């Protein structure tokens, strides 16, 4: 089990990125949340099996309108008893 803090830069706001992330993470059984940042990036915390988090990252750039130019990833502490994946505002 891992938890990753991820910042995406590129064409990631106004293109359905957060909802694509929510649907993809939920379908993989991952937990966490995603939100837009004021600097134009998208910030995500995601938790689950390492291989599934990697699969999520591969899936996120597959949408026609999303164009991820840069990804920053950090490992952070697990959040116990977290349920589901949500879009934060």
pLDDT of amino acid 63: 78
Q: Domains along the chain?
A: 2-75 (3.30.70.100)
* pLDDT at 24 (0 to 100): 97
**Which residues belong to the active site?**
18, 36
Question: CA quadruple 65, 38, 23, 28: dihedral positive or negative?
Answer: positive
The confidence score (pLDDT) of residue 64 equals 82
Residue 8: per-residue pLDDT: 98
Question: Which two tokens mark 81?
Answer: 């008893």
**Stretch 52-78: mean pLDDT, rounded?**
94
**Over 90: is that where the pLDDT of 61 sits?**
no
According to the 3-state scheme, what is the secondary structure of the chain?
CEEEEEEEEEECCCCCHHHHHHHHHHHCCCEEEEEECCCCCEEEEEEECHHHHHHHHHHHCCCCCCEEEEEEEEEECCCCCCCCEEECC
Supply the pLDDT for residue 67. 94
Rounded average pLDDT over 22-38: 98
């Amino acid at each position: 089990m891992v938890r990753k803090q991820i910042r995406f830069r590129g064409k990631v706001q106004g293109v359905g990125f957060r909802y694509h992330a929510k649907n993809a993470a939920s379908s993989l059984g991952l937990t966490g949340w995603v939100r837009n940042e004021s600097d134009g990036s998208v910030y995500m915390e995601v938790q689950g099996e390492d291989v599934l988090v990697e699969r999520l990252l591969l899936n996120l750039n597959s949408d026609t309108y999303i164009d991820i130019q840069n990804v920053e990833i950090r490992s952070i502490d697990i959040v116990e008893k977290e349920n589901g994946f949500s879009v934060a505002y």
